[in-house]
């Protein structure tokens, strides 16, 4: 038996009714894309490797949307009630997805099951929307299927555009990840419930209307409660991850900055950037190993790429003969904290108070590209790349042939370059690839690692002239690997 919807008795003219349905399609599409982007963004932060996380979320959700479209066929006979139920569950799942993902990571150390589960659930519910809305719009006024599909998908795609733009430019910077998802869920629930309870209330029995109102009221109340508790929840989750002595926790436009310890009882401060330990106490074993080999030679002018926390700058300033240090870091918030926060200043030794230090707030790649080849007196004797590790894709261009070619243009004839090449024992291939990439621009290289057994940090020291093994540090074999370019990145090999 083929289900053929008949026009409904509406409280408004048919034209206005169609406009209201299409407006709801627009809002639901915007909310659905926000949920998707929220999962990708939070999973990339918690788990790393944004390409993998985006691929998992998108592929799972698209598959689940197909499943949801098939399952929605069973609800067409009661399309209004089915749509109200779908939107209530979707608003609750999408609104709580970010908080649930963060909780799984903080208390259980595994976010993957939650990521896949919420991608499946949200995908199934999102896929059920269009078939039900197709039935509802036909209930207002019959038209050919092609015209109805064109109208629905036009509203759907425009809504997706607005949601995709609103997430990075409005929700994330203004509300943050957790509250942004909760607010989106509230908008989703209000739009779906309002459409059914007003425009299609004639399709519902009195009992069904009360059930829809109660369900949507409960969803909105839960989302509002979670929004009110999001601050204490974030603090508790951070303490579960970093310990009870979190002193600074700031989410900038580029990364999360967490500073622990450094209080009056003498516990040394520790700095975490995007969940990874960057420094703990004084001196920092990582920064000492990064800076010292490059400073064993001419060091009059020094360029630090990244390193807005000032700790590498502090190491540089410990050496005599340094006349000028230029720091290029895109995160102005980190630099401001490094200048003004007492615990941060303790960690970097007040490096930014030194008159020799100048700061440029810019992307290192773009800053280098905008500079001509250095002439006499302008070249840098030392370039320190204190950048996020090569294990992710967010900074792929900062580990490419193009980037190192731009760096080489700024090096003096006896200049040295040092690069953070990842962690020993996790991805050995990264060290070999970074070494091969630096060598490909005509520099002599020497990979090395922090002293001691077990895991540690790996680096690549390079120069125009041959460089010897760093004293007191373990040399590494770069091995054979292909250089990394912007057109052919190494990630995922």
329 among annotated binding-site residues = yes
Residue 28: CB atoms within 10 A of its CB come to 30
Task: Give the Cα separation of 27 and 170 in Å (integer).
Answer: 16
Q: Which CATH number fits domain 14-235: 1.10.286, 1.10.10, 1.20.1250, 3.40.50?
A: 1.20.1250
- The per-residue pLDDT for 91 is 97
What is the SS3 string spanning the chain?
CCCCCCCCCCCCCHHHHHHHHHHHHHHHHHHHHHHHHHHHHHHHHHHCCHHHHHHHHHHHHHHHHHHHHHHHHHHHHHHHHHHHHHHHHHHHHHHHHHHHHHHHHHHHCCCHHHHHHHHHHHHHHHHHHHHHHHHHHHHHCCCCHHHHHHHHHHHHHHHHHHHHHHHHHHHHHHHHHHHHHHHHHHHHHHHHHHHHHHHCHHHCCHHHHHHHHHHHHHHHHHHHHHHHCHHHHHHHHHHHHHCCCEEEEEECCCCEEEEECCCCCCCCCEEEECCEEEEECCCCHHHHHHHHHHHCCCCCEEEEEECCCCHHHHHHHCCCCCCEEEEECCCHHHHHHHHHCHHHHHHHCCHHHCCCEEEECCCHHHHHHCCCCCCCCCCEEEEEEECCCCCCCCCHHHHCHHHHHHHHHCEEEEEEEEEEEEEECCCHHHHHHHHHHHHCCCCEEEEEECCCCCCEEEEEEEECCCCCCCCCCEECCCCCCCCCCCCCCCCCC
pLDDT digits (tens, 9 = 90+) for 83-92: 999 999 999 9
Give, in order, the Cα–Cα distances in Å from 415 to each of 10, 220, 244: 78, 61, 44
Higher pLDDT, 414 or 242: 414
What is the SS3 string spanning 228-292?
HCHHHHHHHHHHHHHCCCEEEEEECCCCEEEEECCCCCCCCCEEEECCEEEEECCCCHHHHHHHH
Over residues 281-303, mean pLDDT: 86
Over residues 34-63, mean pLDDT: 85
In this structure, CATH architecture of domain 283-475: 3-Layer(aba) Sandwich (3.40)
331 among annotated binding-site residues = no
49 among annotated binding-site residues = no
pLDDT for residue 426 is more than 60: no
Residues known to be catalytic:
386
Over residues 144-166, mean pLDDT: 89
What percentage of the chain has pLDDT greater than the value 70?
A: 86
Give, in order, the Cα–Cα distances in Å from 433 to each of 397, 423, 451, 476: 14, 13, 21, 13
pLDDT band of residue 304 (cuts 50, 70, 90) is very high
**20, 199 in Cβ contact below 8 A?**
yes
287 among annotated binding-site residues = yes
Sequence spans of domains, the chain: 14-235, 283-475
Q: Looking up tokens 């002439």, which residue turns up?
A: 375
What percentage of the chain has pLDDT greater than the value 90?
A: 50
pLDDT digits (tens, 9 = 90+) for 233-288: 988 888 887 777 777 777 776 677 787 776 645 567 777 776 666 666 655 788 88
pLDDT digits (tens, 9 = 90+) for 331-354: 888 899 889 888 788 888 899 999
Q: Looking up tokens 């005509």, which residue turns up?
A: 442
């Amino acid at each position: 038996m083929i289900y053929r919807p008949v026009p409904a008795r509406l409280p408004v003219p048919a034209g206005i009714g169609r406009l209201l349905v299409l407006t709801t399609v627009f809002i639901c599409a915007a909310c659905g894309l926000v949920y998707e982007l929220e999962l990708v963004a939070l999973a990339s932060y918690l788990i790393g490797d944004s390409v993998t996380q985006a691929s998992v979320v998108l592929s799972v959700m698209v598959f689940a949307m197909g499943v949801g479209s098939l399952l929605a066929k069973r609800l067409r006979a009661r399309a209004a009630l089915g749509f109200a139920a779908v939107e209530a569950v979707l608003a609750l799942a999408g609104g709580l997805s970010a908080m649930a993902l963060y909780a799984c990571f903080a208390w259980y150390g595994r976010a993957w099951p939650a990521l896949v589960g919420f991608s499946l659930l949200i995908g199934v519910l999102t896929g059920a929307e269009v078939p039900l809305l197709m039935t509802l719009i036909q209930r207002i006024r019959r038209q050919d299927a092609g015209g109805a599909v064109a109208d629905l998908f036009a509203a759907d795609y425009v809504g997706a555009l607005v949601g995709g733009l609103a997430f990075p430019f409005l929700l994330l910077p203004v509300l943050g990840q957790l509250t942004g998802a909760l607010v989106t869920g509230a908008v989703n629930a209000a739009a779906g419930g309002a459409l059914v309870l007003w425009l299609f209330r004639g399709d519902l029995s009195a009992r069904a209307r009360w059930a829809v109102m109660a369900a949507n009221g409960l969803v909105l109340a839960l989302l509002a409660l979670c929004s009110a508790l999001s601050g204490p929840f974030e603090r508790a989750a951070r303490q579960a991850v970093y310990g009870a002595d979190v002193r600074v926790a700031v989410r900038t436009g580029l990364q999360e900055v967490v500073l622990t310890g450094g209080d009056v009882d003498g516990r040394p401060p520790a700095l975490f950037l995007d969940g990874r330990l960057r420094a703990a106490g004084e001196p920092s074993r990582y920064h000492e190993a990064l800076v010292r080999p490059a400073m064993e030679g001419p060091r009059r002018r020094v360029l630090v790429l990244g390193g807005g926390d000032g700790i590498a700058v502090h190491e540089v300033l410990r050496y005599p003969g340094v006349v000028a240090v230029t720091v290029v870091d895109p995160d102005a918030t980190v630099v401001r904290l490094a200048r003004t926060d007492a615990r941060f200043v303790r960690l970097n030794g007040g490096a930014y108070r030194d008159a020799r230090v100048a700061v440029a707030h810019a992307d290192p790649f773009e800053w280098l590209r905008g500079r001509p080849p250095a002439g006499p007196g302008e070249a840098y004797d030392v370039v320190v790349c204190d950048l996020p590790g090569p294990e992710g894709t967010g900074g792929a261009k900062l580990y490419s042939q193009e980037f190192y070619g731009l760096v080489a243009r700024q090096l003096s004839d006896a200049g040295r370059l040092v690069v953070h090449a990842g962690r020993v024992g996790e991805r050995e291939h990264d060290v070999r690839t970074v070494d091969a990439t630096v060598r490909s621009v005509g520099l002599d290289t020497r990979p090395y690692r922090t002293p001691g057994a077990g895991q540690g940090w790996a680096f690549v020291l390079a120069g125009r002239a041959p460089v010897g093994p760093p004293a007191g540090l373990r040399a590494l074999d770069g091995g054979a690997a292909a250089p990394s370019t912007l057109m052919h990145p190494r990630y995922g090999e």
